Amino acid sequence: MQGTESISSGSPADSTGPEVVQSGLGPASRAYIIPPRPKPGRKPKADSENDERRRKQNRDAQRQFRDRRAQRVYELQEALDDTNQHHIKRQNQHVLECQSLRQQLNQAKSQLAERELLVTQLQDQMEQLRKELDGAKQRDRLIIPKQEYSMVSHHERAILPNDRT
């Protein structure tokens, strides 16, 4: 392809312009223009009334979103405050209940200590009475032998068997 020439309409760095191709041989020897290749990606649109309408719509949507978000934050803050107040109220109720239970526990401990002291005193009295009873039994054995004591009726106990006449 000896007769093919390429003519560019601009500098070698500018490859966006139209390119002119000539072929020198044959009936198709005329020059024709190859249109520049379009750039990839979204094409910028010219400013129009639709753009202004879209911007206004975006501003309105953004403002509504910010308002909804602010309302939601306010509602959540209110709910948090209510929950905190409820928590503090319940905590105070638990503190009062705990104090009441401690007071009841202390009363029960003091009653228990009093009753333990009473039980100890009663046990001491019972032990003392047992000792007195054992002492009385010992005295009765010395006075009345067991064999003779078993023969004596309950009416004759006041009179000892040796004293009968």
Give the residue extent of every domain in the chain. Answer: 4-34
- How many other C-beta atoms can be found within 10 angstroms of the C-beta atom of residue 140? 13
What 3-state DSSP class applies to 67? Answer: helix
Per-residue pLDDT of the chain (165 residues; tens, 9 = 90+): 444 444 444 444 445 566 665 555 555 666 777 888 888 888 776 667 788 888 999 999 999 999 999 999 999 999 999 999 999 999 999 999 999 999 999 999 999 999 999 999 999 999 999 999 988 888 877 765 555 555 555 555 555 555 554
Cα–Cα distance for residue pair 148/165, rounded to 1 Å: 16
Say if CB 120 and CB 128 are below 8 A apart.
no
Overall pTM surpassing 0.85 (yes/no): no
Question: And the tokens for 88?
Answer: 């503090």
